[in-house]
Amino acid sequence: MFEYEGLPETIPARMVELYLQINGHLCFARHAGELYVYTGGMGGEPDVYYRPTVYTVANPAQDWSKNLIIGADCAVMRNDSLYLGLLPLYRRYAHALAENELSLHVTDINSRMISLISASDDRTIESARKYLEDIERGKLGVIAENAFLEGLKAQPLTSSGRNVLMDLMEYEQYLKSGWFNEIGLDSNYNMKRERLNTAEVEMNNDALAPLVDDMLRSREEGLEEANALFGTSMSVKLSSAWEQNRLETEAMLDAIEEGPEPEGGEEGGSDDETE
């Protein structure tokens, strides 16, 4: 989602994103003369706006733990304005998708049952089982006596299973589309069973940017503080599909601002124009 430049060799870009997306924040700090990123807890005596002033880290591999003063010993980078990260969002959609997958599985199994068969005695049960086995193997089932018909009852089930299955499939599409849209990737969630016009396809474009913009701005501010504190030149920008979406949006906004060209071409002055 993001591409980093200027990170020291001691800071893998993957770990930066892992810490931010899972924990919601991290800090840049020096240890043994090298710059690292750590994740920990924030606390200390709050400042005038009730923000934490101390970042506590503990790293077993380095045998090092310390209470770092924010702004003096370390620079804090947050994933978003609320320090939430993406894990709560992912848990929400993953839980809903898992529940829906279970419902799909149960509905799929239940859709195999066209009717319920009941019998009054063991002999009829065995005859019914043999009859069903013959049908399953492709043989023609034969009923030998009237007692079988008299002791056997079949209750037809409702045909709503197919509708339930379609609803669950549409709900899964809705959840996946919502998940993608939340993290700034356009995915159609319109449940119409007809063709969509251009306006319907592009109706959710405005909803894609806010979280992505907030995450990018939070990272830029964190790197600016780290660069000022440690004399580095780290930077970040959008990557992959997110960068492409940004470029397409900027091009569209530029076209809207320019507007249509005036009729008759460019305006020009007359030949007898005076100074």
pLDDT for residue 275 is more than 50: no
Give the model's pLDDT for residue 184. Answer: 78
Give the model's pLDDT for residue 212. Answer: 87
What percentage of the chain carries pLDDT values higher than 90? 46
pLDDT band at residue 149 under the 50/70/90 scheme: low
Give the model's pLDDT for residue 109. Answer: 78
Q: Which residues contact 21 (CB under 8 A, 6 or more apart)?
A: 79, 85, 86, 87
Name the DSSP class of 43.
E
pLDDT for residue 160 is more than 90: no
Give the model's pLDDT for residue 177. Answer: 86
Give the model's pLDDT for residue 222. Answer: 96
- pLDDT tens-digit profile of 187-246? 665 555 555 555 544 555 555 678 888 999 999 999 999 999 999 999 999 887 777 777
Give the model's pLDDT for residue 147. Answer: 58
For the CA atoms of 186, 190, 195, 196, the dihedral, rounded to the nearest 10 degrees, stands at -60
Lowest mean pLDDT among 84-88, 102-106, 112-116, 190-194: 190-194
Report DSSP letters for 91-124, one per residue.
HHHHHHHHHHHHHHHHHHHHTT-SEEEEESSHHH
